[in-house]
Amino acid sequence: MTAPASPEPAVDALFVRRWLAEAAAVVDREAVHLTELDSAIGDADHGSNMQRGFRAAAQEMEQDPAATPGAVLAGIGRILISRVGGASGPLYGTLLRKAGKALGDSEEVAPEQLREALRAGVDGVAQLGGAAQGDKTMIDALAPAVEAMGFALDKGASLVDALAAARIAAEEGAAATVPMLARKGRASYLGERSIGHQDPGATSSALLLGALADVAQDGAL
């Protein structure tokens, strides 16, 4: 007898708030590691900047919870732009604001809509930073993750399974930055000395998508 399929989590405002709260917790735990990665090829502040921004975002969600997924993402994007130092604030803020704008005013969105929103966010980051895959940036984690999610959904996968695939692709993408020569951002100033180090932005992007996969999995249980 075939076991019943697990229910799909509803992608509503609560789901998105849970995702970003989990992301804040993960960033908090991994802040030291992110800063260690950044100390090798950046300004040694990626972890602390991300920690500060996501803590502020978590507080904002508790004090003034938005009513739709798009509004949650857009609001948190604005917080990150204002609270995260360096390039990370504008880049992560753009990722979430563009995704939120793509979702519009819907109170609940389908998995395919979430995929398209994430794609819009990644496109916004690529445009803002002028980066492409292979440049040793957060795009190296984000772009393959969205591609993997879309491929899985197109094959009929559930949201949980599609986000699990996105997580794996993001983690693999982050790891693949180690042998790359940095072509964008602070790390590009180091030239060949950037080779052999994992990009901190790609690493934090993989953490963000891992948090999303975890929340989806928990919501389906």
Q: Is residue 75 part of a domain?
A: yes
* Predicted local distance difference test score (pLDDT) of residue 220: 66
Residue of 194, 182, 102, 178 whose CA lies nearest to 146: 102
Residue 12 CA to residue 219 CA, distance in Å, equals 11
The residue range of the domain holding 110 is 11-220
Q: Cβ(174)–Cβ(199) under 8 Å?
A: yes
Residue 28 CA to residue 30 CA, distance in Å, equals 6
Q: Is residue 3 part of a domain?
A: no
Q: Is residue 147 part of a domain?
A: yes
Q: Is residue 2 part of a domain?
A: no
* Predicted local distance difference test score (pLDDT) of residue 86: 77
* Predicted local distance difference test score (pLDDT) of residue 6: 55
> What CATH number does residue 99 fall under?
1.25.40.340
Q: What's the number of domains the chain is made of?
A: 1
* Predicted local distance difference test score (pLDDT) of residue 64: 77
* Predicted local distance difference test score (pLDDT) of residue 83: 81
Residue of 160, 137, 171 whose CA lies nearest to 214: 160
Could you say which residues of the chain have pLDDT below 70?
1-6, 220-221
Q: Is residue 6 part of a domain?
A: no
Q: For the chain, first and last CA: distance in Å?
A: 20
CA dist 42 → 34, 47, 187, 198, 200 (Å): 11, 11, 6, 11, 9
Q: Is residue 4 part of a domain?
A: no
Q: Is residue 163 part of a domain?
A: yes
